């Protein structure tokens, strides 16, 4: 019933927000409305107010999560990778509305007459949400005005503020997360479908790693900040991760001792409340109108979305060494290739893409994966041959069902595995230390050998970042790509690494096509026999504009209204 409760409360809170927007202009309130001063009396009032923000959190499903990156291909060129975004018109007021509403809470919670211990958790939620919303804007726009109070129409000085350096915004986000940590309950106390201390620490590692690497790899470009100290952020990431790892928190890597199942199953659960790795997730309840299309899309309707050979070739062999995918593609094509790499490579590979013989649904329908629909229609199409499996659950009643909105698969916002990877990357960036213990927790779960550094020169499909990285960092980044594959991190990663060379001037490829499996279908193939789906649409590869595409443009109306807002580079 919790989701239904959220819906009812949001309607009630909307009345309060309407009053907040209008009370400067209306002296006499209707008798049936709650005044702003009357609303904030009890801890229940504060809790109900904060519940409105939970539905604003993203809820994309894995089959679409990595589409703005080199991990995934769809039936048309990605506008971000291909530099097709245009100057934004209009305004950005909707992007700031949630921040304003959080600030309304922070300005009014002190009116509560309940004991502080009764509502301090909701105060922690407010600081978390402000950090969350500002981090979203930071990734999108870079420099921003910082607002710690709810703006009114007559706040001319505040409304005309220039943008603050992005480092000030990042610092302020980290301060908000520290405040959240003072007040939030732990995962054990609050549950993991409510914001908690562990989630706040996880977000802190994410923000700090993002800003540290952004400032390091965008240094001396228009996107960097003069005088920025990347190590400060790497240290903040390390400190937050170590607190989570070393403190008395309910965290761990989900591992039941079944390496062929554990990684795969974790993402497909409906109820993730008992999964110690899941720090914070969104729960669904179809009977209350809260559901998603995950199990339908993964089984029957990929709509073109599929993994790329660039992602697949990042997986090591089961021996922990680079695997020569191209060499094996010469003698194994189509289904044979999929079966071969599933047998030979990191088990996380076959947990992420469908392999012939996999059971896709087993409750009311018995559906077994036979081959990818590389020649399918718009809904069934798998453009690369690597059909996404990650987060599927054959035992779900919604698996493969046409009533696509009945899936209740949980949506993970933070998991401990990400924190370990954030820590490993930040620790190496900070002092060249390899976090073997943390990385091996992930390797052990997958049934892989302990983490080891392979020389870059031994990689049969070398990754080009556009600049030199050490063998150690190269391998740490590989582990991150594999463990977090298709979860929506890859765009964030290439942006902060300034790594457009991963795909600029190139096309993302598919699997080695077997014409005997599709006798009347003739896709374009590259020199290695790999499907080259976008060869006609991208004759010269992706055309990412590195002088501007690392940030969005500020909407033009905002610059017209406030000339103190300078436009982003290149726009």
Q: What tokens were used for 198? A: 């562990």
- Using an 8 Å Cβ cutoff, are 435 and 427 in contact? yes
**Distance between CA atoms of residues 509 and 310, nearest Å:** 7
- Looking at the domain assignment, is residue 401 inside a domain? yes
- Looking at the domain assignment, is residue 192 inside a domain? no
- Looking at the domain assignment, is residue 373 inside a domain? yes
Per-residue pLDDT, 30: 44
- Looking at the domain assignment, is residue 370 inside a domain? yes
Q: Running DSSP on this structure, what letter comes out for residue 383?
A: S
Per-residue pLDDT, 34: 58
Per-residue pLDDT, 18: 45
Per-residue pLDDT, 70: 98
Phi-psi region of 201 (alpha: psi -120 to 50; beta: other; left: phi over 0): alpha
**Any idea what the Cα angle at residue 98 is, between residues 92 and 99, rounded to 5°?**
85
- Looking at the domain assignment, is residue 152 inside a domain? no
- Looking at the domain assignment, is residue 291 inside a domain? yes
Q: What is the 3-state secondary structure (H, E, C) of 517-537?
A: CCCCCCCCECCCCEECCCCCC
Query: At how many degrees (to 10) do helices 416-431 and 436-446 cross?
Result: 140
Taking the model in full, what pTM does it have? Answer: 0.94
Q: What tokens were used for 256? A: 């039941």
Write the DSSP string, 89-136: -S--HHHHHHHHHHHHHHHHGGG--S-HHHHHHHHHHHHHHHHHHHHH
Per-residue pLDDT, 269: 97
- Using an 8 Å Cβ cutoff, are 143 and 181 in contact? no
| pLDDT by 10s per residue, the chain, length 571 | 455 444 444 444 544 454 444 444 333 344 344 567 789 999 999 999 999 999 999 987 888 999 999 999 999 999 999 999 999 999 999 999 999 999 999 999 999 999 999 999 999 999 999 999 999 999 999 999 999 999 888 888 888 999 999 999 999 999 999 999 999 999 999 999 999 999 999 999 999 999 999 999 999 999 999 999 999 999 999 999 999 999 789 899 999 999 999 999 999 999 999 999 999 999 999 989 899 999 999 999 999 999 999 999 999 999 999 999 999 999 999 999 999 999 999 999 999 999 999 999 998 789 999 999 999 999 999 999 999 999 999 999 999 987 656 899 999 999 999 999 999 999 999 999 999 999 999 999 999 999 999 999 999 999 999 999 999 999 999 999 999 999 999 999 999 999 999 999 999 999 999 999 999 999 999 999 999 999 999 999 999 999 999 999 999 999 999 999 999 999 9
How many domains does the chain contain in total? 1
- Looking at the domain assignment, is residue 375 inside a domain? yes
**Distance between CA atoms of residues 104 and 13, nearest Å:** 12
Per-residue pLDDT, 402: 75
Per-residue pLDDT, 4: 47
**Distance between CA atoms of residues 417 and 351, nearest Å:** 16
- Using an 8 Å Cβ cutoff, are 138 and 132 in contact? no
CB crowding 392-405: b at 16 or more within 10 Å, else e: bbbebebbbbeebe
**Distance between CA atoms of residues 215 and 240, nearest Å:** 19
Phi-psi region of 35 (alpha: psi -120 to 50; beta: other; left: phi over 0): beta
Per-residue pLDDT, 405: 64
Any idea of the CA torsion for 527, 531, 534, 539, to the nearest 10 degrees?
A: 0
**Any idea what the Cα angle at residue 190 is, between residues 4 and 192, rounded to 5°?**
75
Expressed as residue numbers, the domain containing 382 is 284-409
- Looking at the domain assignment, is residue 381 inside a domain? yes
């Amino acid at each position: 019933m919790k989701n239904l409760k959220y819906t009812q409360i949001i309607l009630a809170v909307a009345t309060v927000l309407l009053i907040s927007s209008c009370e400067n202009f209306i002296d006499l309130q209707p008798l049936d409305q709650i005044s702003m001063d009357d609303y904030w009396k009890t801890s229940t009032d504060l809790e109900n107010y904060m519940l409105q923000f939970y539905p604003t959190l993203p809820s994309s499903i894995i089959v679409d999560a990595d589409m703005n990156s080199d991990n995934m291909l769809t039936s048309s060129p990605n506008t971000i990778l291909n530099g097709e975004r245009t100057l934004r018109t209009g305004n950005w007021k909707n992007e700031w509305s949630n921040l304003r509403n959080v600030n309304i809470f922070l300005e009014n919670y002190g009116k509560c007459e309940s004991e502080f211990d009764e509502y301090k958790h909701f105060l922690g939620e407010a600081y978390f949400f402000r950090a969350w919303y500002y981090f979203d804007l930071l990734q999108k726009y870079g420099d921003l005005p910082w607002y710690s109070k709810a703006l009114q129409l007559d706040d001319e000085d505040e409304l005309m503020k220039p943008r603050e350096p992005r480092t000030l915004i990042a610092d302020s986000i980290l301060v908000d997360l520290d405040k959240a940590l003072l007040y939030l309950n732990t995962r054990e106390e609050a549950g993991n479908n409510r914001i908690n201390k562990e989630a706040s620490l996880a977000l802190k590692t994410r923000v700090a790693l993002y800003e540290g690497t952004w400032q390091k790899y965008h240094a001396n470009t228009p996107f960097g900040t003069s005088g920025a100290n990347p190590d400060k952020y790497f240290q903040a990431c390390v400190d937050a991760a170590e607190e989570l790892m070393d403190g008395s928190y309910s965290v761990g890597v989900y591992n039941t001792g079944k390496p062929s199942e554990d990684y795969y199953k974790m993402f497909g659960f409906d109820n993730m409340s008992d999964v110690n790795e899941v720090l914070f997730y969104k729960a669904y309840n179809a009977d209350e109108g809260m559901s998603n299309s995950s199990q339908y899309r993964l089984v029957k309707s990929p709509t073109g979305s599929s993994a790329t050979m660039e992602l697949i070739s990042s997986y090591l062999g089961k021996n922990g060494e680079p695997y020569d995918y191209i060499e094996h593609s010469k003698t194994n094509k189509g289904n044979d290739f999929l079966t071969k790499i599933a047998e030979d490579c990191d088990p996380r590979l076959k947990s992420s893409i469908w392999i012939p013989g996999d059971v896709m649904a087993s409750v009311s329908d018995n559906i077994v994966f036979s081959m990818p629909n590389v020649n399918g229609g718009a809904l069934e199409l798998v453009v690369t041959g690597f059909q996404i499996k990650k987060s599927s659950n054959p035992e779900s009643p919604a698996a493969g069902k046409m009533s696509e909105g009945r899936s209740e698969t949980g949506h993970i916002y933070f998991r401990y595995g990400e924190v370990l990877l954030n820590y490993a990357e930040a620790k190496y960036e900070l002092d060249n230390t390899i976090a073997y213990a943390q990385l091996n927790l992930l390797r052990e779960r997958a049934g892989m050998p302990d983490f080891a550094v392979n020389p870059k020169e031994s990689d049969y499909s070398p990754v080009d970042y556009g600049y030199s990285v050490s063998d150690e960092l190269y391998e740490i980044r590989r582990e991150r790509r594999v463990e977090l594959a298709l979860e929506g991190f890859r765009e964030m990663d290439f942006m902060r690494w300034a790594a457009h060379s991963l795909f600029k001037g190139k096309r993302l490829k598919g699997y080695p096509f077997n014409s005997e499996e599709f006798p009347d279908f003739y896709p374009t193939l590259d020199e290695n026999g790999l499907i080259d789906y976008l060869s006609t649409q991208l004759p010269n590869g992706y055309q990412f504009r590195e002088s501007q595409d690392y940030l969005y443009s500020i909407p033009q109306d905002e610059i017209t209204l406030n000339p103190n807002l300078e436009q982003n580079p290149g726009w």
